[in-house]
Amino acid sequence: MKTYKIIDSPRQRALRAGDVRYYTGMPCTNGHYAERYTKDTHCVECDRQRSKLRECHKLEKVKAYRKAYRKTHRTQMNETARRRKAVVRNEGI
Ligand SMILES: [Zn+2]
């Protein structure tokens, strides 16, 4: 009967030690030499870049929403600004 030696991977060692991240010494598919998360084996640097990108997309969505809102509520916003200016002028705030 043939016996196989079980290779202890860095992730298995990290899991046993209770570490959140581990290092393989190998680049990820995007070429980062970075640590990986133990729970899902994702590259830390790739995750960081993905979350940055997500924030940018969120910001673009907010900008687009505000632009559309300004377009549809132009008269209402102008009226509000006029009232605020009048209050400041009258009360000298
Ligand atoms: Zn990566």
Kindly tell me if the per-residue pLDDT of 28 is higher than 90: yes
Q: How confident is the model at residue 93 (pLDDT cuts 50, 70, 90)?
A: low
Q: How far is the CA of 58 from the centre of ligand 1 (A)?
A: 22
CA-wise closest residue to 48 among 32, 71, 69, 24: 32
Average pLDDT over residues 20-36: 95
Instruction: Please give the radius of gyration of the chain, using alpha carbons only, rounded to the nearest integer.
Output: 27
Q: How far is the CA of 31 from the centre of ligand 1 (A)?
A: 6
Tokens of 35: 């640590």
Q: How far is the CA of 32 from the centre of ligand 1 (A)?
A: 4
Q: Is this model's pTM higher than 0.85 or not?
A: no
Question: Residue 43 in contact with residue 32, Cβ under 8 Å?
Answer: yes
Tell me, what's the pLDDT at 67? 95
Give the environment of ion ligand 1: residues with CB less than 5 A: 28, 30, 32, 43, 45-46
Report the distance separating Cα 50 and Cα 43, nearest Å: 11
Q: How far is the CA of 35 from the centre of ligand 1 (A)?
A: 9
Kindly tell me if the per-residue pLDDT of 88 is higher than 90: no
